[in-house]
Amino acid sequence: VSGGDFPEAAGPLGSPFPFDAALHAACVWGQRYRNIVAFPVGFESRRIILPTSAGQTYLCRVFPLPEEGAVLRFNVWLFDDDHRPAEILLGLRMRDISGGRLKPPAWVRKGA
């Protein structure tokens, strides 16, 4: 995922773009493997080890956890170019907030 090209957007937590992209990656997992468009509704903890920077690229790993009913749960890790953890998001909770109106496109589910 990208740190973006806007250094002025970075604050004490780093660039907001990798964190946002990580949430999108978890949403894609829900679309592909659970056939729902899930949105983030909370998380247990967020640890920033190395604040993310504009102009940098990060590896994002999304680890699905056991679901809680209709709530998808994940741990998400962002790694820098040297494979060091930059950010760890534990217990991300996502669910369909559209009442089933939003559906993943067919190409996302193809082959799943």
Split at pLDDT 50, 70, 90, the class of 9 is: confident
pLDDT tens, 74-109? 999 999 999 999 999 999 999 999 999 999 999 998
The CATH number corresponding to 7-106 among 3.40.50.150, 3.30.365.10, 3.10.129.10, 3.40.50.720 equals 3.10.129.10
- Cross-strand pairs, 59: 79
DSSP code, position 75: E
Average pLDDT on 31-57 reads 96
Average pLDDT on 46-57 reads 96
Split at pLDDT 50, 70, 90, the class of 25 is: very high
CB 54 within 8 A of CB 7: yes
* Annotated domain spans of the chain: 7-106
